[in-house]
Structure 1
Amino acid sequence: MTLMGFQLLILALTAGFAFAAPTTVRQTHPTITLDDATVIGQPNGTVVRYLGLPFAQPPVGDLRLRLPKPVSPFNGTINATTFGNQCIQQIFPAVDLPSDVPAPASEYLTAFVTPADVPQSEDCLNLNVIVPADAHSKSKLPVAVWIYGGGFEIGSNAIEPGEVVVARSIEIGHPIVYVAINYRLSAFGFLGGSEVKEAGVANLGLHDQREAFRWVQKYISAFGGDPEKVMIWGESAGAISVALHMQANAGDPQGLFRAAFMESGSPTPSGTVDNPYLQSTYDQIVADSGCSNATDTLACLRTVSTDVLLAAVDNTPSFLSFQQINTPWFPRADGALISNPPEQQLLSGPTANIPIVSGNDQDEGSAFSFPTLNLTTDEEFLDYVHSNYYRNTSREAVEKILDLYPSDPALGSPYNTGDNFTYSPQYKRMSAFQGDFIEQAPRRLFVQHLAEKQPVYAYLSNFHKVDGIGAAHGTELADVFGGGPMGDYLIRFAATLNPNGDGAFEWPRYTNSSPLLLTFNDVQPELNLTMDTYRAEGMAYLTKLSLADPI
């Protein structure tokens, strides 16, 4: 799930890459032609940005809670020099942090839920295209399509600085085109319940992404991109989305992409879109929106104001609520786009046979585990995990987790910090469990299952640590979008389907006989290889429970 990314570092990184917004559009600005339209871009040094381009009709009015419709042909003059609207964001409750949480960790958690300084609207299905300044319609450059994270509740294509990635791609001799898309969030994009399933409108945010992929196929050549060389790429919720697109359509990419890069996200241990939890969430939103007495509650939800629906959403759990990462907004199996619960689908159905990169941050759960600091005993931890994550599993089976993830803070996350950062007796245990439950164990299952069938590269990020929460979820973004080594590997992978080259430290393919992770470190050596065998017994057991009892 991202969380949005390490925004404070990202903002610092981009401070020197600012764009002066023109008050008027001058003819000296670069242009391209889409259909019958002239699109005006914004130049800066070696790159040009085309911002806020619609890829689908606005999902407003009767198009709310419906599948996205293709955008109408472009005409006229389009000023693409400012960001388009971001999608409606869920408002998060404040997290009451202990006084001993270091300031960097507190700032990081604040950045999680700080939206971009861009207007919010339901009319938000737009994308940004960033290209080398000398690109033209015959350039046929590789294309990287970015899907942001945010737990499927928050996020925007205006946050991460794609211009840094494109500029860096030019510097290292592998120029690429960068595309960043918006998609509907929370109840606007991932409403569950039997009514939603029966109407065929589940997982709308994923359908938005798919529509954006189709837009790329139709139009990216005009920007200098090659529609046959598309890599889809995301972090957290964005990476989960990428993995689910690999599973969709019986594993057939339909020519929409040829590679995938996933930062902290894999097929999740989530269940069905009409399970009791999601049905109760749907019923609550219907009631809070004043639609309980409607003959067709879904139709009624299309008529209420945005503010009313958003207020209903704000009454539901977020990933910083007591339920933590068990929110109602994960994509779940709908029998259509997602045939079966994702982890079960991974083992039983085909997945796109394409080269992939998939990895994790070391301390994936540390940023999520503050809302349960009031859980202080083994019994309270067990009750929570049983009632929140494994509701249909016997208490005795869940109890084994206590042994596999002990309360000893020296064994918890943030790892390798001894007894430091023990904000409560169960915090570091909760952090270790949640990081493996939602991130590490699903990633390991994913790469192990695919490694013998297709090119797989896996990594572990143990750098850009934040004092108090370690190499937390999203910390690698500062490197990817800051011109660092992980970003260089990503660029080469997008361009050549192999992350290696240019004299870089060799990143071997992941195999089950040699499950090597390229490991990024804050200390020397900056890069080394480690084995993907840590916490093997614990992760295997969580996977066993999750396959039988998905959330």
Structure 2
Amino acid sequence: MRSSIFAGLVGVSAVGAVKPLVDVSYSKYQGVSLENGITQWLGVRFAAPPVGNLRFAAPQDPVKNKTTIVANTFGNTCLGTGSAASNTSSEDCLFMNIYAPSNATTGHPLPVYFFIQGGGFNTNSNPNYNGTGLIEASNHNIVVVNFNYRVGPYGFLASEEITKGGSTNNGLKDQIKALQWVQKNIRKFGGDPDHVVLGGASAGAASITLLLTAHNGRNDGLFHATAAESQSFAAVRSINESQFMYDNLVIRTGCVDSKDTLACLRGLNATYLQSKNINTPFPGAQNPPLYMYGPTLDNDVVSDLTMSAYRKGNFIKLPAIYGDDTNEGTVFVPANTSSIGESNTFLKDQFPLLTTPQLKQINALYPNNASNVFPNSGAWWRQASDAYGELRYNCPGINVSDIYAATFSRKDIWNYHWDVIDPVAAAAGRGVTHTVEINAIWGPENTRGNAPVSYSTTNAAIVPVTQAYWTSFIRSFDPNTYRLKGSPMWEAWTQGQKQRLHFVTNATAMENVDAGQKARCEYLSSIALDIKQ
């Protein structure tokens, strides 16, 4: 619990600097000034608790109170699908953290890095990363914000009943609410509301693509550049196509006989609802997908399929980074995948609209290499991993970069290929895994124990290189302006030159996309709308 008094603040604010005690109109938050010259405000509420009648509703403004809250404790993360409630997760979870140089001023506000965590829209999987490392890497020239948003049914349940009595895409609306909060309040923390860079990993990077295309690409001025890591392109379903999720939840919870099934769901306590919060197969699939809940085509926030919106030009055209890891699929595909049938079944479980001719073509593009034998894994694990990784992550990032450059002649689009070999992951056959670069961007000591050990030993040299590119982009909308001395120029992705930065410890350099990946991505792009990406 946060106390209303705190005696451990370090140092005194410089003249003209932002003070640790900040009034955001509905509450006052007492930040903590650290010895490294950074002040942090943890667990700042940016919306009302989404409980009771606000379950399955759009986020509302926080309730005003006169309390001074000592912001030295993280707020609870949001409840995820397939997990039990815990002492660190709750339905009351709409909190953010702000990190700023202690000498930041309101008169000379700093660029803001607004990070959207991942988790497949079913969990909060990157909560409460420590922003101090990025600020130090920027020479104390940025402000960092991260936050929670609703996931699973709390954030993405969709149905006719939800449309009439609640709100769809609440997880995305939570993100928009947090961005609106930044516009209103971040200057009080030393940040510049006119210089906000969105960052995100996996579903957080998918969120970036969805926010860029939201409302048919309407620019509300909430952000000004984007950096997407392992952008995830899942299928986007309509309200009608999502109805089965609502109906199944109503059946499992015993709300079928209620006159108002939505009121019944809202009346359940969160512990019981969590016990019924599971994934079930998509129509046309045989097994539950990795992630069932997700953004819905509601003709409001999400007004088109993501790839369709990009192709039509219905997105906000801003400086952007897109990129991926070499082996995006290995952490997702069951390691015991042992046959072509199991491989195809896995792919169709995730994308049930894949047809048998399309699966046949995917099999041809991704032949199984029988000589690839990995510990404790089935013979088709890496084949399925390669196909799934490029289908959902690598190729959409390449194809979107093409759209920026070829269709709209943008010269401020950069792409990367993360290929930093971790010995432990390599020995296990996982290769260079999904979103592992997040540990270099934030610094391995700042990702809550998730970083590979090598990022502090044999791969330590890649960290300052990566942080310099990212903080340069945050500060100037260009990764090269403040890049580390001696590191290569990160050339833009262009129509004629499909080039990207190849991150390798002590050997980072530009590379062209190879012909094989180009061909595979061209095919996967041709079926993207068929499978509703």
2:338 corresponds, among 368, 372, 376, to 376
Q: Which residue of 2 aligns with 1:395?
A: 356
Matches within 5 A, 1:101-500: 119-155=88-124, 158-170=127-139, 175-199=141-165, 201-266=167-232, 268-276=233-241, 278-314=242-278, 316=280, 323=287, 327-370=291-334, 373=336, 375-385=337-347, 387-389=348-350, 391-409=352-370, 418-421=372-375, 423-452=377-406, 453=408, 454=410, 455-465=412-422, 466-467=425-426, 468=428, 469-482=430-443, 483-500=463-480
Question: 1:357-409 CA distances to partner (integer Å, 9 max, x unpaired)?
Answer: 110011000000126x2x42334433553x42554454233211111111115
Relative to structure 2, which stretch is displaced further, 35-44 or 433-442? 35-44
Q: Tell me if structure 1 keeps the 8 A contact 2:158–2:239.
A: yes
Please give the secondary structure, in 2, of the residue aligned with 1:484. Answer: helix
Task: Please list every run of 5 or more consecutive structure 1 residues that lacks an aligned counterpart in the other structure.
Answer: 1-20, 94-114, 411-417
The CA deviation string for residues 117-141 of structure 1, in whole angstroms up to 9 with x for no partner, is: 9621111111010000111222310
> Which residue number in structure 1 is paired with residue 508 of structure 2?
526
Give yes or no for contact 2:297–2:304 (8 Å, CA) kept in 1.
Answer: yes
Q: Is the CA contact 1:231–1:494 (under 8 Å) kept in the aligned structure 2?
A: yes
Give the unaligned 5+ runs of structure 2: 11-19, 444-462
How far apart, in 2, do the equivalents of 1:92 and 1:290 lie?
20
Task: Tell me by how many angstroms 1:198 deviates.
Answer: 4.7
Does the C-alpha gap of structure 1 residues 360 and 151 become closer, same or farther in structure 2, counting only changes over 3 Å?
same
Q: In structure 1, the residue corresponding to 2:139 is in which secondary structure?
A: helix
CA distance in 2, matches of 1:394, 1:310: 34
With over 3 angstroms needed to count, the CA separation of the structure-2 counterparts of 1:33 and 1:462, relative to structure 1, is same
Amino acid paired to 1:212: A
Name the CA shift for 1:240/1:394 in 2 (closer, same or farther; >3 Å): closer
- Residue 344 (structure 1) shift: 2.0
- Structure 1 counterpart of 2:269, which letter? S
Cα displacement (A) at 1:536: 2.0
Residues 194, 273 of structure 1: 8 Å contact kept: no
Aligned amino acid, residue 270 of structure 1? A
Q: Which amino acid aligns with 1:274?
A: I
Question: Cα 1:316–1:381, aligned 2, differ >3 Å: closer, same or farther?
Answer: closer
For CA contacts below 8 A with separation 6 or more, give which structure has more relative contact order.
1
Q: Identify the match of residue 540 of structure 1 among 516, 522, 533.
A: 522
Q: Deviations over 1:211-244 (max 9, x none)?
A: 0000000000000111000011100011100110
For 1:53-132, list aligned pairs within 5 A.
Answer: 53-73=44-64, 75-91=66-82, 119-132=88-101
Structure 1 pair 532–279 and aligned structure 2 pair: CA distance change class (3 A):
farther
For residues 83 and 64 of structure 2, the distance between their equivalents in structure 1, rounded to whole angstroms, comes to 38
C-alpha distance after superposition, 1:424-469 (max 9, x if no partner): 1210111001101110121112111112423211001011532321
* Maintained 8 Å contact 1:35/1:73: yes
**1:38 and 1:447, CA in 2 relative to 1: closer, same or farther beyond 3 A?**
same
Q: Residue 6 of structure 1 corresponds to which residue in structure 2?
A: none
Query: What SS is found at the alignment partner of 2:108?
Result: coil
Question: Do the aligned partners of residues 511 and 422 (structure 1) sit closer, same or farther apart at CA in structure 2, a change above 3 Å counting?
Answer: farther
- Give the letter for the 1:202 counterpart: T
Identity of aligned residues (%): 28
Question: Which residue number corresponds to residue 103 of structure 1?
Answer: none
Cα distance 1:77–1:378, how it changes in 2: closer, same or farther (>3 A)?
A: closer
Per-residue CA distance 1:472-529 (angstroms, 9 max, x = gap) = 002101100115322221111111111103434200111121111101014x413443
Check conservation: 1:390, 1:545, Cα contact below 8 A: no
Structure 1 242/51 Cα, relative in aligned 2: closer, same or farther at 3 Å?
Answer: same
Classify 1:184/1:389 alpha carbon distance in 2 versus 1 (closer, same or farther; 3 Å). closer
CA 1:533–1:337 in 2, change beyond 3 Å: closer, same or farther? farther
d(CA) in 2 for partners of 1:46, 1:317 = 50
- Between the aligned partners of 1:225 and 1:280, the Cα distance in structure 2 is 43
Tell me the CA shift for residue 356 of structure 1: 0.5
**In structure 2, do the counterparts of structure 1 residues 532 and 164 end up closer, same or farther at CA, with 3 Å as the change threshold?**
farther
